[in-house]
A and B are shown apart, each in its own frame.
Chain A
């Protein structure tokens, strides 16, 4: 087990290194001229050239990559003399449009995104799995048919549409909730909940639909397994058969999907954050596209991809926890 985890962690570190390279190369291939975009209001050819030198864009791609990579560990100074900008380690780049380190910007936005992601994650996972199990147990009955059809509708709704519909009815027409105005929970917990409840529900319903379907098909498959019959033949109560024997066996693909979905959500539910004007990573990403800031986009891409890679590691470890046969592999 320990050897398995060590091997997975080493693979992950290698992947992360590869990831920085890929992201860096991809963004340097873009036609956008960063030196021009970040040179400020009064832009002469000369200032652009100076800016290019300040950003290190005059160096070769490999040197630039090295600068970018080493900045993560030792920081980086843009320019020289009095006008120099110091970005301390770990430096993920500097946003010249916002005059702040990219990491700082991301960390400011991250809590909102984490709250949104975790809240929705708990809701859709619990809801989806419970509904899926229930649906599988009532296979072919009206409960099963209702759940399956509603899940199909939920699965096919686009999030911006669903989000806007919910805002229109709940906030504008019925005025059950005030307009979303995000506050951190430690500042104003009531306001926080009032703002988050709708995006949580919308995300949860969209994702729960998928988990309901996945859990249902997994349960139906495992309920037909021989070891389930053995569990019943032992005289176990049906509840234990379902919980301890069937659900655990059907869990593996659910864990995979859940891990990756959580990682994806942590990278920002871009559209939904915009719909509910939440100050999360998604909003930051959109504003950096509208108001071009490549440093931020590189940073967000890296952070999001890192989440996915870490989630994969966690999923792999969970596999081994769930299924002893994986540990030897």
Chain B
């Protein structure tokens, strides 16, 4: 297995606030193989975006405490020189954000924003950079790129803007692309186009991809592996098939049950997970999910509320963090 292109070991991210320390990510360990697509799913506040920004180095160092190791192709991102890390942003690794309108600078032409991205990392003339920008726009399926390159973001539709963001992220041929909810802010019809585009481009370029989403449809379509996060922890990890067909953690089961299915019965009701996401300042004792868990009766004693379960093997290439797997009564 080539599970070593991106390796995250025991990542801890916390933000000191007036109310206490927010532990956004608590001991996250992950790896992504070269050319693979990993989906990170979870509800708001589960730590998925923070993890992505920690990889990219976009968290404000003055307001954040980061611990652990993030190895990208052998380079320790948290330990290396900040200047070296900056030079890797946009070239070795790139990122696409949720809202393409607010993510593009409203005052600059899209072409100029692309040209800027090219010229940070490549020693080329403005003219060559412009040619690359136009090619980049053509590659993401923007019609008439020679003209569109001089448009301002407000002159483009939402889907077009996200295509521009993708073009900008890919323009220096990054080995790792992180997409943070790339389709959430788009119309449903456009969502599918963007998902297809990203998959096409990945096949062409072989870029390793991390897709952060709460759209389980996107996950099923794009991802090789899925990582389910809850309360700043990985609670389940495995191949997409394994996690979809044999979810081994009650939270994952709840997540899957709360998605409407086209093949479901007409009068079938959705089954939401009760309760609210946990406080990251004072997380619940034991298993972070236990206050909302509907299956904890199956675990003897008060194990769930006192001891935090480890990530244990739930099958081939499949791990989950649940006492049911070790202590549960079938």
Within 8 Å by CB of B88, from A232, A235, A245, A322, lies A235
Return A247 CB to nearest CB of chain B, in Å: 11
Contacts of B99 in A (CB 8 A): 226
B58 touches A227 (CB 8 A): no
| CB nearest to B94 among chain A residues | A233
B106 touches A232 (CB 8 A): no
B103 touches A232 (CB 8 A): no
Q: How many residues belonging to B are interface residues under a CB distance threshold of 8 Å?
A: 29
Contacts of B168 in A (CB 8 A): 230, 234
A324 touches B103 (CB 8 A): no
Within 8 Å by CB of B102, from A226, A234, A322, A325, lies A226
B104 touches A230 (CB 8 A): yes
A249 touches B89 (CB 8 A): no
- Interface: B56 (CB within 8 A): yes
A226 touches B97 (CB 8 A): yes
- Interface: B244 (CB within 8 A): no
| CB nearest to A251 among chain B residues | B107
- Interface: A158 (CB within 8 A): no
Contacts of A324 in B (CB 8 A): 106-107, 109, 152, 154
B121 touches A230 (CB 8 A): no
| CB nearest to A229 among chain B residues | B58
Of residues 119 to 135 in B, which have CB atoms within 8 Å of A's CB atoms?
Answer: 120-121
Return B214 CB to nearest CB of chain A, in Å: 19
B107 touches A322 (CB 8 A): yes
B154 touches A249 (CB 8 A): no
Q: What are 28 A-B pairs at a CB distance below 8 A?
A: A140-B62, A226-B99, A226-B102, A226-B103, A227-B106, A229-B103, A232-B89, A233-B56, A233-B58, A233-B95, A234-B116, A235-B87, A235-B88, A235-B90, A235-B117, A235-B120, A236-B90, A236-B120, A237-B86, A248-B107, A249-B106, A249-B107, A322-B107, A323-B106, A324-B106, A324-B107, A324-B152, A325-B152
Chain A positions near chain B (C-beta within 8 angstroms): 140, 225-227, 229-238, 245, 248-249, 322-325
Chain B positions near chain A (C-beta within 8 angstroms): 56, 58, 62, 86-91, 94-95, 97, 99, 102-107, 109, 116-117, 120-121, 152, 154, 165, 168-169
